Copies of this chain bind each other. A is one copy, B any other.
Amino acid sequence: MNGPRQTWQKAGEQDMLTASTDEKNSGSGNLKRKENRKNTVTIRDVARASGFSTSTVSIVLNSAPLARYIPPPTKARIQKAAKSLGYRPNIFAKSLRSKRNHTVGVMLFDVTDPYCTLILRGIENSLYQASYLPILTDAHNERGRFERYLEMLLERRVEALIVLANWLYLDINLLGDLEKPQIPTVIIGRELDSSATSSVTVDDEGGGYSAAAHLYTLGHRKIAFVRGPKALSSSKNRWRGVQRFARDAGLELDPKLIVDLPDQLSPNVGVEDAYRMTNELLNRRRSFTALMAFDDMTCFGALRALTKSGIKAPNQCSLIGFDDIAPSSIFVPSLTTVRQPMESMGAAAVSIVVDAINAVGEERKFVAVHRKLPAELVIRESTRALP
C-alpha cells in the first residue's frame, strides 16, 4: 500500500525510537504488563510509541473532524507507529462507543434455491464496495428459524437488514416482525404492502408480457402454461402480463392448456411438481406447440416430462422459463427465459440500506423506497419459430 519499501521488521524498530525512551521511564513493570496482555496492541501502545496521547492517536487514525488541526508530521509519526506495531483497533470497543459495526444481516429463506445465488453475489459485491460485511442466515423456509435468526441479528446490532423473499408465503406475520425493529430494512422479491420497509422487485408483469409476446412472434398460438403457486405474488403478476398480451394480440388462452403448481414450501420441490403437472397437461391430449413455465426450475420439470413422452424441445415444443438462473444457460437445450437482473437487484438493495444507514446517522428522516427493475427477454435454444 505504501510504496515498495516494506522492510517490515526494520521499519518497526526505527519507529520505536520515541517509544524506547518512553519505556525507560516506565521501567520493567511496564514490560511485564505488556507480556500479560497477550500480545494485543492497543491504542495506548501506539500513543506511547508515538509520543502523543490516545486522544490524538484516535483522532488521527480515524480522520475525525478534529484531524484537520493536526499537522502532517504528527499524523505521519502516529501512522508510522501504528503500522510498525501492527495496531488493529479493537472493533468491540469501537462499536461500543460509536454504536456502529459495519455489518448488515442478510436473510435468505433457502440458499439452495439457485435464484438466490446471483442476488447474493450482487449483495456481497456492493457491500464490499461500501466496506460492509454480510452476516448470512438461512431460514430453511421455517418460520421459527427465521424468527430466531432475526433475534440473533438484532442482538448483534447489525446496521441493516436485507431479506430475500425468494419463495415465501408466510408474510402474514413477517411484516410485523420486520417493522418492529428500528433498523433499515429492504425486502427483495416482494413488496410488503402498507409497509415502511423498502423493497426491490422485478417487473413480473412486464416479463410475463414479453415472454408471451416472444412465443407469439415465433408463430405459436397453442400455448400451454404451467403457472406458479397461487400464493406467490409473482405468479399473479406474471400471469397478468400474459393476459394483457393476450388481449393486446387477440391471442386466445385455452383453459385446458393451463395448469397450476401447488403451493409448496421449497422451490426445489417445484421441479417435481412441474414434472407432474406437465404430465397431467399431456394427459389432457390437447395439443400445444409451446409451453411457458412459471420459472426456470418449473421449465426443467416440464422439459423432463416432455422428453419422457417423446416430445423434443424445441423441435416439437418451444419452452420458455423465467428468472435465468445459472443452470439455464448450461442446459441442453439452453433455456429461453426472462431474466431477472439479479445482481442489480442485490446492488439496489444494498444501495437502499446504505442510504438509509447514512440517513439515520445524520439524523435525517428516511422514507421507504420501492424500486422495480425491468426484466429482460433472453433468447436461447429452447424456443423456435413454427415452420
Interface locus among A17-25, A152-160, A364-372: A152-160
B330 near A91: Cβ-Cβ < 8 Å: no
Say how far A246's CB is from chain B's closest CB, in angstroms: 29
Do residues B330 and A307 form an inter-chain contact, with CB atoms below 8 A? no
Minimum-distance CB pairs A-B, first 5: A327-B327, A92-B96, A92-B95, A136-B136, A300-B330
- Residue A134 interfacial (CB < 8 Å): yes
The reply on A203 being an interface residue by CB < 8 A is no
Known contacts A114-B326, A121-B112; A96/B90 CB under 8 A: yes
- Report the interface size class on chain A: 35 or more
User: How many copies of the polypeptide does the oligomer hold?
Assistant: 2
A111 touches B92 (CB 8 A): no
Determine whether the beta carbon of A91 is less than 8 Å from that of B326.
Answer: no
Does A135 sit at the interface, judged by CB under 8 A? Answer: yes
- Which B residues are in CB contact (< 8 Å) with A124? 111, 136-138
Give the complex CA separation of A153 and B304 in angstroms. 44
CA distance A153 to B128 in the complex (A): 12
Contact present for B327 and A330 (CB under 8 Å): yes
Q: Is the interface of A mostly helix, strand, loop or mixed?
A: helix
**Does A121 lie within 8 Å of B111, measured CB to CB?**
yes
Whether A81 is near chain B, meaning CB under 8 Å from some CB there, is no
Whether A326 lies near B112 (C-beta < 8 A) is: yes
Give the B-binding residues of A (Cβ under 8 A). Answer: 88-93, 95-96, 101, 103, 106, 111-112, 114, 117-118, 120-121, 124-125, 128, 133-138, 140, 145, 149, 152-157, 268, 271, 297, 300-301, 303-304, 307, 326-327, 330-332
Q: Are A303 and B326 in contact (CB under 8 A)?
A: no
Residue ID in chain B nearest A334 by CB atoms? B304
A106 vs B137: C-alpha distance when bound (angstroms): 12
Collect the chain B residues with CB atoms within 8 Å of residue A128's CB: 137, 145, 149
A-B contact list, 24 entries, CB within 8 Å: A88-B154, A90-B96, A91-B157, A92-B93, A92-B95, A96-B96, A103-B156, A111-B117, A112-B118, A114-B326, A117-B117, A121-B138, A124-B138, A125-B140, A128-B149, A133-B135, A133-B152, A133-B156, A135-B136, A301-B330, A304-B330, A327-B330, A327-B331, A331-B331
A114 touches B114 (CB 8 A): yes
Partner of A155, one of B88, B140, B300, B303: B88
**Nearest Cβ on chain B to A72's Cβ, whole angstroms:** 26
The CA of A218 and the CA of B153, in the complex, are separated in Å by: 52
* Min C-beta distance of A323 to chain B, whole Å: 14
Q: Which chain B positions have C-beta within 8 A of A152?
A: 133
Residues of B within 8 A of A303 (CB): 332
Residue of B nearest to A313 (CB): B332
Distance from A205 Cβ to chain B, minimum over Cβ atoms (Å): 27
**A88 CB to closest chain B CB, in angstroms?**
6
Nearest CB of B to A367, in Å: 20
**Closest chain B CB from A178 CB (angstroms):** 17
In angstroms, Cα B276 to Cα A315, docked, is: 25
Nearest B-chain residue to A96, judged by Cβ: B92
A36 to B: closest C-beta gap in Å:
14
Measured in the bound complex, the distance between the Cα atoms of B13 and A140 in whole Å is 37
Least distance between A231 CB and chain B CB atoms (Å): 23
Closest to A325 in B: B327
